[in-house]
Each structure stands twice: as structure tokens, then as C-alpha cells.
């Protein structure tokens, strides 16, 4: 099958969170199974160019319709960790992808609406007629709309669209100008069955467009699929998802074990597996050295997260103080897009400046993230909502036990050491239900108690997590089944 992966992110070159990992992991697994997979992302000025091999221009003079004129784009090609990637470079006076960041500007809907059009124009002009275009999140919702409103009529009538929802908190709410920008018929599309936002009749909802126009819609865990149809986690799109129930389902994400595996990870000083956990203690020492914590007989609790309200920032902050009170060490790696949250964590960082037991690293650091998973004993994930969550799966692979709120994909992957009804070999962490300080303390307290009093049982819990199969193997097959289900077969 020929599959185009349309996305605003692809790890490791352009990654903000789990979406980048998803595109990398699924694309790699699909390619390993003999499919022709091509990822298309914007060419951001802030990409990790050092992770792209052999980058060169493959298409010049791509004229992309933009209101009543055209914007000139080039397309470059390169391999990102073995994955075939096309990068769309726009030469517009708006500098759409030259902002020093991937997201976070007021005109984000315009930037990605333009990217969607440029991507479709590139496929069309370069003669590509893929079986599947797999679109991701609101940024590429318009790709499915453009496929059926414009390009099917130009000969791309055998291509089908699959659409994955990674986070309902961001839906690409915008005005009808994005439709005019793309020369789409606003009168036809601004209806309650199509792109009109359910909460605001004057707003275009790009994610809704992707849902309505795609042939199949997935989200990243079965539990989140249920939550967004039946609770306010759907953030206004519950009704739309119910209407399209016949083509909607949850597929649990995998993680890419060629990137996330302590047995072969080149970014950690000591490799180890379930049978050589002593080596993990050496990584703990390296982590302590790297972030300036003292060497003491204490459990090391970690957080690796975007510091977004979705991630339960108040609960993270409380967990930090609680863990220190309980005689633990604590390391946090996080980046906060919100100024107030950022200021709050900087305040804590200064407060902890001289602490031998606590370190906060505020920013994004791929290499340090690997060392933290390898060196820490526990990872705290108190999310308010969590579509899938990769952090807990990565942590488990590194023998770092998750303490997580039972929500979304966390509920599908973390099984409580004490209360789960699963057999012991499948229990792998600690969970809590209430998004409260008491909730965090109940689960974190039990985990810390186990580390201190029952080291052998703690070791077994680590091994249970390390032995879980959260690879892309199963989910990739699931996606292939979906592609085959919607594909036009002669």
C-alpha cells in the first residue's frame, strides 16, 4: 500500500509530544511490513536538521493557491531516522513555518490550513495517487476536506483518508477565511453537518472537518474513544462522533522500541534489560550526577511532561513536595507553554536551587528524557485527561514504575499493583481516580512504601512493566486492517 502520513510533527526532527512519536513509530512499522510510507511535514526553521540525512530539493515551483493568488513553495526530501520525509518550504511573506517554534501563534489555523493545501497540491502535482492519506489532529483536518471537495474531482478519486485524533483539547477553531484562503465553498461547507463548530455557528472547526470527511476516524486509545463520545472530554464534538460512530474506533498507540529500549539505547550510559537491572542503578547514579542530586539510599521520583494544564500541573507540583516530604528525590523535566505555569515552576526551581534532593529542568531535552527514564524509580503522571500517553509506556520499558491517574490511555495501560483484577504478572504500576492531592498521595504513598519496604516485590513490578508488549506490532496491524477496510480494491 502507498500511505501518506500528513502531520504537523514527526520525531525526531519536529516533535512537541506524543504525536511526533506516533508518526515516527507507526510509519516505521508500516514500512518494515513492506508498505510505501511517506511522511509530509512543514519545513520548520527550528527542526532538528542534524537528524535528517541527505536533505535535498525534489520539487521546485510548487504554486499553492492562496485566496486569489498563489504562494510559491519548494519541497525537500530527506530521511529522518530511516523514515522517508518530505518537507514543505513556503516562501510566503507570512513566514508560515519560520517562527522559531512549531505551534503557538495566533495564526496557527492559517499556517496549517495553508500546509494542508500545499500538501495536497504536492501530491497532485508530483503524480502521487496514494491508497491512503493518514491525517493527524486538527492541523491536517482540512486535508480530508480538500481531498473530497477538490482533488477527487481532479483524478485522486481512489485515495482514501484516515484521520487520527490525538487531543480533543485543540480543534482548530477559526473563521471562514481559511475556506476562502483555500478556495473552498464556504456556503456549502459551513453547515451543521460539515465544518460548522457545534458551539459557535460562526466558527469553522477544522477537526470536525477531518471527522466528517474522512473514511475512517481513530483515536489513540479505546478508553479515550469512549470518553470523547460519552463525556465532556469530547469538548463539544461528542455529538459529531456519535453521528459518525460507524467509522470511529480507538487504537491503542505503541512505542517505537528501536528508540525506546534500555537494552540498546545509545543515549543512556549503561544498557540493561529485565535480567540485568543492576545496571539501572548505575544509570540512577549518572542521572543524579547529571542533575546535581546526592547519592543516597532514596527512591527517585520523576516527571517528564509538557507542563500543560491537561497534565495536571497542580498535582505535579503537589507530588513534588509530597515526594520530598516522604524522603524521596525528585527530578522534573518539563516545558510550559503557558506563561503563568512557566513562572510558577521557575519559582519552584529557584526555591530548590540548593536542594540536594530536587532538580527541575525547564525546557525540552530529548537526551535528558532518556536518562531520566533509565535512572528514575517512579514516574508521576497525574493527567486531567490523557488521550493515550506514551510516557507511562516508555517508563515501564525502562523499569520505571508509573503512578498515574486512571483516565484515557493511562487506564488502558497501567494496572494497579494492589487493586487491579489482572493477574500479578500484568500489574505494573499505581493508579488513582480523583484529581486531588489526596488522590496523588494515595497512589504515590503506596509506591514509595513498596520501594522502601518490599524491594523484591518492587523489582518484580518493574520486570512486569518491562515485559509488556507495547510495541507497534499490534496497533500497526490494526491500522492496516482499517486501511484495507476503506481502500478501493480492484
Q: Which residues make beta-bridge pairs with 362?
A: 334
What is the C-alpha separation between 163 and 154, in angstroms, rounded? 22
Residues 17-76 binding ligand ADP (CB under 6 A) are 17-19, 21
Take residue 124 and report the three cell numbers written for it.
497532485
- The answer to whether 128 contacts ligand ADP (rule: CB under 6 A) is no
Part in contact with ligand ADP (CB under 6 A); list of ranges 68-76, 110-118, 266-274, 387-395? 387-395
Buried b (16+ CB within 10 A) or exposed e, 311-339: bbbbbbbbbbebbbebebbbbbbbbbeee
Exactly one of 171, 335, 413, 471 binds ligand ADP (CB under 6 A); that residue is 335
Based on the shown chain and the rule CB under 6 A, indicate whether residue 364 belongs to the binding site for ligand ADP.
Answer: yes
Among 304, 323, 411, 414, the residue binding ligand ADP under the rule CB under 6 A is 304
Neighbour tally for 126: CB within 10 Å: 12
Taking alpha carbons only, the member of 395, 436, 398 closest to residue 414 is: 395
Q: Shortest Cβ distance from residue 338 to ligand ADP (Å)?
A: 14
Q: Is residue 74 within 8 Å of residue 91, measured between CB atoms?
A: yes
- Could you tell me which residues come within 8 angstroms of residue 246 by beta carbon, excluding any fewer than 6 positions away? none
Q: Kindly report the number of other CB atoms within 10 A of residue 21's CB atom.
A: 24
CA-angle at 172, arms to 1 and 243, nearest 5°: 70
Stretch that binds ligand ADP, among 125-133, 232-240, 389-397, 448-456 (CB under 6 A): 389-397
Does residue 380 bind ligand ADP (CB under 6 A)? no
Q: Which residue, judged by CB position, is nearest to ligand ADP in the bound state?
A: 18
341 in contact with ligand ADP (CB under 6 A): no
325/309 Cα distance (integer angstroms): 24
By CB under 6 A, how many residues form the interface with ligand ADP?
19
Cβ–Cβ < 8 Å for 37, 166: no
Taking CB under 6 A as the binding criterion, the range among 30-38, 322-330, 344-352, 365-373 that sits at the site for ligand ADP is 365-373
Judged by beta carbon, residue 146 or residue 336, the one nearer ligand ADP is 336
d(CA 204, CA 337): 25
Nearer to ligand ADP, 214 or 383 (CB): 383
Using CB under 6 A as the binding rule, whether residue 366 contacts ligand ADP is answered as yes
Please pick, from the candidates 389, 402, 408, 465, the single residue that binds ligand ADP as defined by CB under 6 A: 389
Asked if 251 and 220 touch (Cβ cutoff 8 Å), the reply is: yes
From candidates 4, 388, 407, 417, binder to ligand ADP by CB under 6 A: 388
Q: Which is nearer to ligand ADP, 89 or 361 (CB)?
A: 361
Q: Count helices and strands (H / E) in the chain.
A: 17, 18
User: Which of these ranges, 127-135, 283-291, 299-307, 432-440, lies near ligand ADP under the rule CB under 6 A?
Assistant: 299-307
DSSP string over 16-76 = SSHHHHHHHHHHHHHHHTT-EEEEEEE--TTS-GGGEEEEEEEEEEEEEEETTEEEEEEEE
3-state DSSP assignment of residue 248: strand
Binding ligand ADP (rule: CB under 6 A), the pick from 143, 252, 316, 390 is: 390
Instruction: Kindly list the strands in the beta sheet with 358-362, ordered across the sheet, starting from the edge strand earlier in the chain.
Output: 358-362, 329-335, 300-306, 378-381, 401-405, 430-432
Q: Does 475 bind ligand ADP (CB under 6 A)?
A: no
Q: Is 314 in the site for ligand ADP (CB under 6 A)?
A: no
| 333 contacts ligand ADP (rule: CB under 6 A) | yes
Residue closer to ligand ADP, measured from CB, 20 or 439: 20
Segment contacting ligand ADP by CB under 6 A, of 82-90, 139-147, 278-286, 302-310: 302-310
Task: Please identify which residue in 269, 365, 460, 463 interacts with ligand ADP, judged by CB under 6 A.
Answer: 365
Q: Which is nearer to ligand ADP, 35 or 310 (CB)?
A: 310
> Which residues form the interface with ligand ADP (CB under 6 A)?
17-19, 21, 304-306, 333-335, 364-366, 369, 388-391, 394
Amino acid at each position: 500500500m502507498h500511505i501518506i502520513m500528513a502531520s504537523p510533527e514527526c520525531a525526531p526532527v519536529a516533535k512537541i509530544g506524543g504525536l511526533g512519536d506516533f508518526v515516527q513509530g507507526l510509519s516505521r512499522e508500516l514500512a518494515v511490513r513492506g508498505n510505501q510510507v511517506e511522511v509530509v511535514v512543514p519545513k520548520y526553521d527550528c527542526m532538528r536538521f542534524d537528524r535528517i540525512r541527505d536533505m535535498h530539493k525534489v520539487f521546485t515551483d510548487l504554486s499553492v493557491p492562496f485566496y486569489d493568488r498563489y504562494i510559491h513553495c519548494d519541497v525537500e526530501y530527506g530521511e529522518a531516522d530511516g523514515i522517508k520525509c518530505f518537507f514543505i518550504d513556503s516562501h510566503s511573506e507570512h513566514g508560515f513555518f519560520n517562527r522559531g517554534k512549531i505551534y503557538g501563534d495566533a495564526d496557527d489555523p492559517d499556517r496549517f490550513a495553508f500546509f494542508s493545501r500545499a500538501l495536497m497540491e504536492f501530491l497532485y502535482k508530483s503524480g502521487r495517487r496514494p491508497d491512503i492519506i493518514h491525517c493527524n489532529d486538527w492541523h491536517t483536518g482540512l486535508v480530508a476536506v480538500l481531498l473530497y471537495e477538490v482533488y477527487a474531482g481532479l483524478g485522486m478519486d481512489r485515495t482514501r483518508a484516515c484521520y487520527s485524533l490525538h487531543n480533543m483539547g485543540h480543534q482548530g477553531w477559526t473563521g471562514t477565511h481559511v475556506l476562502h484562503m483555500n478556495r473552498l465553498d464556504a456556503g456549502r461547507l459551513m453547515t451543521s453537518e460539515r465544518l460548522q463548530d457545534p458551539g459557535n455557528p460562526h466558527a469553522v472547526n477544522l477537526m470536525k472537518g477531518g471527522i466528517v470527511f474522512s473514511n475512517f476516524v481513530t483515536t489513540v486509545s479505546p478508553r479515550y474513544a469512549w470518553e470523547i463520545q460519552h463525556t465532556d472530554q469530547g469538548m463539544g464534538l461528542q455529538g459529531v462522533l456519535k453521528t459518525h460512530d460507524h467509522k470511529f474506533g480507538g487504537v491503542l498507540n505503541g512505542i517505537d522500541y528501536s528508540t525506546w529500549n534500555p537494552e540498546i539505547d545509545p543515549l543512556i550510559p549503561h544498557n540493561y534489560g529485565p535480567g540485568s537491572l543492576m545496571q539501572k542503578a548505575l544509570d540512577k547514579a549518572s542521572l543524579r550526577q547529571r542533575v546535581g542530586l546526592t547519592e543516597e539510599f532514596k527512591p527517585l521520583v520523576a516527571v517528564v511532561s509538557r507542563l500543560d494544564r491537561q497534565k495536571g500541573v497542580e498535582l505535579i507540583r503537589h507530588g513534588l513536595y509530597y515526594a520530598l516530604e516522604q524522603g524521596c528525590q525528585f527530578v522534573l523535566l518539563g516545558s510550559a507553554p503557558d506563561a503563568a505555569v512557566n513562572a510558577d515552576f521557575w519559582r519552584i526551581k529557584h526555591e530548590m536551587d540548593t536542594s540536594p534532593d530536587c532538580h527541575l529542568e525547564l525546557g525540552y531535552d530529548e537526551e535528558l528524557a532518556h536518562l531520566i527514564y533509565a535512572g528514575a524509580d517512579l514516574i508521576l503522571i497525574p493527567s486531567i485527561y490523557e488521550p493515550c500517553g506514551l510516557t507511562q509506556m516508555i517508563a515501564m520499558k525502562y523499569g520505571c514504575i508509573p503512578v498515574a491517574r486512571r483516565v484515557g490511555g493511562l487506564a488502558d495501560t497501567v494496572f494497579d499493583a494492589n487493586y487491579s483484577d489482572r493477574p500479578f504478572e500484568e500489574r505494573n504500576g499505581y493508579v488513582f481516580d480523583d484529581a486531588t492531592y489526596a488522590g496523588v498521595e494515595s497512589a504515590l504513598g503506596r509506591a514509595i512504601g513498596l520501594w522502601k519496604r518490599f524491594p523484591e516485590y518492587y523489582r518484580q513490578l518493574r520486570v512486569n512493566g518491562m515485559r509488556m508488549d507495547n510495541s507497534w506490532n499490534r496497533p500497526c496491524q490494526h491500522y492496516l486492517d482499517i486501511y484495507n477496510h476503506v481502500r478501493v480494491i480492484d
